[in-house]
Amino acid sequence: MRAKMQQKIIDVCDRKIAQKGDGVGVSFYAFFANKNDDPEQLMEVATWWIKTHKLDHFEKAVKIRNMIISEA
């Protein structure tokens, strides 16, 4: 996954955790605008989320942030 996208995921997770606490969940759609303006990157994240890691639709933001950090 691209470094810029990894940083965006970390930033979004950090923001959601700060707003709602450690129990907040996220979907991979949380990292994109409502309109699909970058389908290639959406598929890249979806592949990482669904195919590579076999994650549920919603996961804890803390878990996702930690996974991204450990892979960087």
Q: pLDDT by residue (tens digit) across 13-61?
A: 999 999 999 999 999 999 998 777 889 999 999 999 999 999 999 999 9
- Count the neighbouring beta carbons within 10 Å of the beta carbon of residue 26: 21
Residue 36, pLDDT score = 77
Domain boundaries, the chain: 3-71
Residue 46 and residue 2 in contact, taking contact as beta carbons nearer than 8 Å = no
User: Tokens representing 28?
Assistant: 């991979």
pLDDT of residue 27: 95
Average of per-residue pLDDT across 51-72? 95
Q: Among positive and negative, which fits the CA dihedral 55, 68, 3, 14?
A: positive
Q: What's residue 33's pLDDT?
A: 83
Measured distance CA(10)–CA(7) in Å, rounded: 5
